[in-house]
Structure formats: structure tokens, C-alpha cells
Structure 1
Amino acid sequence: MTTAIPFNKPYLHGRELVYIAQAVASGKISGDGVFTKKCHNFFEQRYGFAKTLMTTSCTDALEMCALLLDIREGDEVIVPSFTFVSSANAFALRGAKLIFADSEAGNPNIDPELIEPLITSRTRAIVVVHYAGVACDMDRILSIAQRHGVTVVEDAAQAVDSFYKGRPLGGLGALSAFSFHETKNVISGEGGLLAINELQFAGRAEIIREKGTNRSSFFRGEVDKYGWVDVGSSFLPSDIISAYLFAQLESLDAIQARRKQIWQRYWEQLAPVLPEFGVTLPVIPEYATNNAHMFYLVCRDIEQRTHLISSLKEQGIHAVFHYLSLHDSPYFQQKHDGRPLPHSDRFSNCLVRLPLFFELSDNDVDRIAEAIIANLRQQR
């Protein structure tokens, strides 16, 4: 019997359970324990982020960004339409008017050419999403933002250990958010990270993360008591989550190396064949690196994609589509200004993600590639 291939399988190398046991034995499994601090140090030292704070999710990190920027009713925030709902919802919760921008024609990232015409006197932030861990065209975006006095927030949920012109993603905007959901390269089940690159946000970020109190300052001995000093929420995760993540971070290089091998094997088998069926593969611009977060195909149309996903499923291979355009969502459709966003819609209708996880074998990749090619030949 043929073994099923899931879309994702969380990776566990063993130290995760050791570190969780150590966290429990320490007597402190709430937030900001030993392993939370180890994770902070890892990201600050490896990538040069000015300050980092573990959060319970990337969504929470994005909501902290909205609070730190003091987004209010009537402010406008530019967001790509082809993204996860958290990229937009974090700002909608603060009353912002969302202005959705289209993707580039060649890849799902936000098109810099389309950003500037959307800026008004009310624009407060531009949210960029590094789709599949591949960098947006950040020099152009940062230049636009600087000209208009607008803050750039990086949604780097998929972008750990990926770079733009040698600079780590998450380190280019004023604020950025990472995800360690079980589908990401390094994981903690759920979990996220706020990276702060402009230090004027650092002190308030600690307060917002600690329910609006100056509790972090109290524990450092900077104040003799702590109280409610600002708005905030409970954004810090248990040290058990950080213990799991720290074990993953210790294996980051090995995890990345294997994921890149898998990605490359897909490319070598599919790139020479798929264009003849009208199917395109991921584009990695020369300014970007590939962290092998995802291998995706863009089908010719929704019928071709539907047939392909269904055929793979029948063979025990779990391939999936991705985001639905947010501007056309049930929640936002009536609020959208009517601009067509054809590239976002095309990726919504045509993109399919293939299985990619640490323990995916070369034989599995070969089987998936053969099944894809066979299906497309059958459809022709």
C-alpha cells in the first residue's frame, strides 16, 4: 500500500523535550523564563535585530505593531491583498482603513509600483509580506515610505533566515513579526516574535506585551513597584513554548540545509517540464535569498489547479492552495474601493503548494513530481 504524504509534518529532533523538562524543573514556566531569553539572544545576535520579544503568535506580534504605531480610527494602512488575514486584521482591530495593494505579476509579493499612488495624508503604515520567505523589493518600498513619512512593518511570518541584499528579513522595517507555527521552518507549535529595529519602540513594546504594565522594568529593578501605565494585553508566551523553539533554533542550519535540498530537487524535476503546460514555478529575484519555506506552482487556471490537487489527493499526496484575496473576502468586499487586483486574484485561483518538510524523502519528492507531470499530461 502506498504511504500517504502529508502537506506538513512538524519536525522533532529530541532536544525539544529535554528543554521542556528543564523549563518545568526550573520552577518557572510562565513568560520570560530562561528559554525565552535564550531565544531573544539568538535572534538579536544572529541577525542583529535591535530588540526582540517572543509572542504567543505572529498575529500577536502584528497586533503589537499596530499598538506601537498608535493606529487609530481613520488612519490608513496599505496591505497586500494576497496574504493571511492577520496581516490586515491587526490594523483593522485598531480602526484603520485598509487599503489593499496588488501583487507583482511574477510573484505574490506586493508590487512597489502600486504603493505610492495609494498613499494619502492619512497613510500611517505600509505592511509588506515576504511571501514564501522571498524578499519584497525593499529598497524601493523603504524609499517610498521615507518620502512620505510612513512606517514600514514587515510581516516576516515565513521569512526566518532569509535575506535581502545580505540583510536579514525582519531587519529592514521599523517593526517586524515572525511566526513559529508548526508549518514554518522552525517551530514551537504556535508562537511568534516581534523584532524591533527602531529602539524608540522598545520600552513601550515591553509594556504592551505585559498587559500595559511596567512589570519588565520592575523585574530588572528599575522601579520599586509596577502598575498599569498603558494599553496592552497578554502577548508573552509560556517558557515551555520558547524551550521547544530554542531546540529548533540550535538545529536551524541543519533544518535549512535539508529544506533547501528538497526545494532544489523539486526545481530540478519540475522546472524543465511544467512551462509547456502553462504552469510557472517560484521566482527568486537576484536581490533575494531562498529560505525554502515553500515550493509552489502557479497553474494556468483554476480548473487546472482543481484537477491537479484532486488527482494528487487520490494518490495520497496532500497539496493545498493558499490565501483568498482579502479585498474580495466576505468581511471586506463591501468596504473595498473597487480597484481590480488581478494578480492577487490569479494567485488565489491558481497557486498550489507542495509538501515540504524536514523528513520528506527524496523518493517522496520524486513521487510527487512524477504525479504532477502525469496529471498535467493527462489534462492536456
Structure 2
Amino acid sequence: MIPFNKPFLTGKETIYIEQAVQSGKISGNGIFTQKCQQFFQDKYGFKKCLLTTSCTDALEMTAMLINCVPGDEIIVPSYTFVSSALAFIRQGAKIIFADSMSDHPNIDCNTIETLITSKTKAIVVVHYAGTAVDMDKIMELANRYNLIVIEDAAQAVDSFYKGKALGSIGHLAAFSFHETKNIISGEGGMLAVNDNRFMERAEIIWEKGTNRASFFRGEINKYGWVDTGSSFLPSEVIAAFLYAQLENLEVIQQRRKEIWNVYYEKLSDLQLKDKLKLPNIPDYASNNAHMFYILCKSFEERSQLIQFLKKQNIHAVFHYISLHKSDYYTKENSVPELPCSDKYTDCLLRLPFYYELKDEQQQTIIRSIKDFYNYA
């Protein structure tokens, strides 16, 4: 079976983990945590980075930072992972779901203004497949209506919008280092803070509501409980693993882009024949090769293709089920009409994609897809 995903190890993960253990400090905010945070701040221009145990944790921190309370409304794309909405639901907010674009799963910026009310506090944008949302439009809306922008950049490490790193444009951003991402630590995430309003408080929330970090820097003579928060720090074991990956970022990205380009080139004739659609990368966006997906014409066709590929020992998978139609949401809310989100729910199929995918395996996948569409 050609798996959908296979975590890639650079070889130094266990070496750095051993160093972390032998250092005598394996709880959070040690040397490897600080190295990882500094890496992102230096390379991508994030003002402040805080590692977390997951992207979900980073999103929950954003909900706390913006003082999300019952009665607030948060605009979120429906075609996304549940964490994009759940972080704010937990604070009592109401989620207002937005549709995707007709030619990309990203949020349709042209529909957002109609969703804004006096209760709207923030817009959450998800850079699906690492492809940028049109951030000029988003930030213009945010400035006009005095809203906070949170970039869910779970899939967007090393991806850019008009030359600016994703996660550096909104007021806050959340990243994932889950084993399915380009850069991994098994589980893991990061909060990026780009607005000075949130800088100091982010660290307090990160440290269980205490000013402990300031104490260890010698800025205060004692620390205590000063705000809300939780235990969001990952251990040094996770950070050590992540740092080994970051050292190999360029190599990992180069190989992933090679795989992405082969898929696109070899399947483009099927798109020309109107058999399927391939990913669309807007001019303003870069491609970080997070995933490769195709769009089938119907739910039935996609289901048949999944089964066909399974018989060829190829594991291809669909992705999100629109949150506006989830059991949890529909229990207490009416279902909005979001046809594009529904289309991606029914028709999007992700192909096997990982660093160690062999050329011959990729050719087998491509050939099998063409066989399914009776196109050699």
C-alpha cells in the first residue's frame, strides 16, 4: 500500500532529544524551544513566537488574547478543521460561517462584508493547502470595521503572500507541526504575535496565567497569577524534534515541491480534457507544496476513484466535511447555504504526498488515476 502520508525524519531528531534530556531541563521553554522560536522570528519576521503543544492550543490562545466572550461573532470559513471554530466556541462566541471561493477552498473574501455586524470581533482566515488568502482584502476589511485578523496557518509554513510570510500579516497566527505537515514534531504548534497589543499578555497566557517568563528573565523579583491562561508549552522533547526539522527546511521543501510539480505536470492533460480540476495557485500566492489535491465532478465519482485507487494499493483521502453541516453546529443553528464549501466537501481528493514518496510510486499513482478516467 502506498500510504497517504509518511512522517520524514532528518536523522537528528533523536540526537537533539537526547541532548534535551541530558540538559536536565525537559519541561517547556528551554534551549530548544527558544531556538525554534528565534528561527521563525528571524526567518519570517514574526514579532513574537511561542511554541505550543498543537495548533489548536495556539488558536485557543488567540481566543483568550482577543477577549472573546459570549455575544461576540467570529467569521470562519466552513471548509476547515474543527479547531478553527472550536477555539472560539469554547469562549462562548457565535461562529458565522463563510463560503469558499469557486476556484479555491480558501474563504471567499467578497462575501465576508455581508457577514459583518456590530457584534463581529474577528475574522479567521485559513490558508488552505498553504495557499494564501487575499490578505489585502482581508486587512482592508479589518481596518475599516476595526476587526482582529487571525491567520490559521496550520498548513502554511514557508508560504507567502506577495512576498510576505503567511502568519506575519494578520494580528495573530497559528501554525501546526502535526505529523501530516511539511515540518513536524509529531504533535505541536506555534502562536505568532504580530500586534504589540498582544505581545506581553500572550506570554502570560502561555505560562498558565503567570508572569513566570518575566521572572526568569530577571525583569521582576517574583512571579504570580496575574491573568487567565493554561499549560500551552510543549516539552523540550517536542521542541528538540522540531528543531532538527527546521534545520532541514530547505531540503524538505525542495523535495516536496518536486513531487507537487510532477503531479501537476502529469495530470494537467486530464484537466485539459475536463476530466478533473487541479489546484489553483493565485498570482499573489506562493506554493509551499503542503498537499496535492484534485477535484472530481461529484461525490459519487470521488468515492469510485477512492475505491479504484485502493484496489491498486494507493491510499487517497478526502478532507474536511463542511462545519456548517456538522452535527454539533446544526443542533442549535440553521444551516446556511454555502455551495462552494459543499462542493469541496464532496469532490476534493488528496493524493499521497510525503518527502520519501518514490518516483516510481508517484508514477503508479498518476497512471492509476489516468486509467480510472480511461485516459492513457
- TM-score (ref. length: structure 1): 0.97
Instruction: Give the aligned partner of residue 182 of structure 1.
Output: 179
How far apart, in 2, do the equivalents of 1:259 and 1:335 lie?
42
Matched, 1:369 2:366: yes
How far apart, in 1, do the equivalents of 2:360 and 2:81 lie?
32
Instruction: Give the aligned partner of residue 129 of structure 2.
Output: 132
Identify which of 227, 247, 252 aligns with 1:250: 247
How far apart, in 2, do the equivalents of 1:191 and 1:362 lie?
30
How far apart, in 1, do the equivalents of 2:24 and 2:7 lie?
27
1:355 to partner: Cα distance: 0.7
Identify which of 42, 45, 54 aligns with 1:57: 54
Matched, 1:80 2:80: no
Matched, 1:290 2:287: yes
How far apart, in 2, do the equivalents of 1:330 and 1:338 lie?
11
Instruction: Give the aligned partner of residue 5 of structure 1.
Output: 2
1:130 to partner: Cα distance: 0.1
Helix, strand or coil at the partner of 2:327: coil
Instruction: Give the aligned partner of residue 96 of structure 2.
Output: 99
User: How many pairs align?
Assistant: 375
Q: Is the contact made by 2:174 and 2:192 (CA closer than 8 Å) also made in structure 1?
A: yes
Identify which of 171, 192, 195 aligns with 1:195: 192
Matched, 1:322 2:319: yes
Instruction: Give the aligned partner of residue 113 of structure 1.
Output: 110
Instruction: Give the aligned partner of residue 68 of structure 2.
Output: 71
Runs of 4+ residues over 3 Å off in structure 1: 334-338
Q: Is the contact made by 1:213 and 1:226 (CA closer than 8 Å) also made in structure 2?
A: yes
Instruction: Give the aligned partner of residue 45 of structure 2.
Output: 48
1:226 to partner: Cα distance: 1.2
Q: Is the contact made by 1:296 and 1:353 (CA closer than 8 Å) also made in structure 2?
A: yes
Please give the per-residue CA displacement for 1:214-242, whole angstroms capped at 9, x wherever unaligned.
Answer: 11111111111111111110000001101
Unaligned stretches of 5+ in structure 2? none
- TM-score (ref. length: structure 2): 0.98
Identify which of 206, 210, 213 aligns with 1:213: 210
Q: Is the contact made by 1:109 and 1:130 (CA closer than 8 Å) also made in structure 2?
A: yes
How far apart, in 2, do the equivalents of 1:123 and 1:366 lie?
48
1:68 to partner: Cα distance: 0.1
Unaligned stretches of 5+ in structure 1? none
Q: Is the contact made by 1:51 and 1:199 (CA closer than 8 Å) also made in structure 2?
A: no
1:334 to partner: Cα distance: 3.8
Instruction: Give the aligned partner of residue 38 of structure 1.
Output: 35
Instruction: Give the aligned partner of residue 222 of structure 2.
Output: 225
1:362 to partner: Cα distance: 1.2
Please give the per-residue CA displacement for 1:169-216, whole angstroms capped at 9, x wherever unaligned.
Answer: 000000000000000000000000000001221111111111111111
How far apart, in 2, do the equivalents of 1:163 and 1:80 lie?
20
Alignment of 1:286-365 (within 5 A): 286-365=283-362
Counterpart residue type for residue 20 of structure 1: I
Q: Is the contact made by 1:309 and 1:320 (CA closer than 8 Å) also made in structure 2?
A: yes
Percent identical among aligned pairs is: 60
How far apart, in 2, do the equivalents of 1:31 and 1:87 lie?
25
How far apart, in 1, do the equivalents of 2:124 and 2:234 lie?
24
Instruction: Give the aligned partner of residue 15 of structure 2.
Output: 18
1:275 to partner: Cα distance: 4.3
Q: Is the contact made by 1:308 and 1:376 (CA closer than 8 Å) also made in structure 2?
A: no
How far apart, in 2, do the equivalents of 1:27 and 1:373 lie?
55
How far apart, in 2, do the equivalents of 1:35 and 1:334 lie?
44
1:278 to partner: Cα distance: 3.4
How far apart, in 2, do the equivalents of 1:354 and 1:312 lie?
10
How far apart, in 2, do the equivalents of 1:342 and 1:126 lie?
20
1:337 to partner: Cα distance: 4.2
Bigger Cα displacement from structure 2, 199-208 vs 128-137: 199-208
How far apart, in 2, do the equivalents of 1:315 and 1:278 lie?
20
Instruction: Give the aligned partner of residue 162 of structure 2.
Output: 165
Instruction: Give the aligned partner of residue 87 of structure 2.
Output: 90
Q: Is the contact made by 1:209 and 1:234 (CA closer than 8 Å) also made in structure 2?
A: yes
Helix, strand or coil at the partner of 1:271: helix
How far apart, in 1, do the equivalents of 2:38 and 2:260 lie?
29
Alignment of 1:235-246 (within 5 A): 235-246=232-243
1:274 to partner: Cα distance: 3.7
Q: CA RMSD in A?
A: 0.9
How far apart, in 1, do the equivalents of 2:48 and 2:370 lie?
46
Q: Is the contact made by 1:188 and 1:245 (CA closer than 8 Å) also made in structure 2?
A: yes
1:67 to partner: Cα distance: 0.2
Counterpart residue type for residue 295 of structure 2: V
How far apart, in 1, do the equivalents of 2:69 and 2:59 lie?
15
Counterpart residue type for residue 47 of structure 2: A
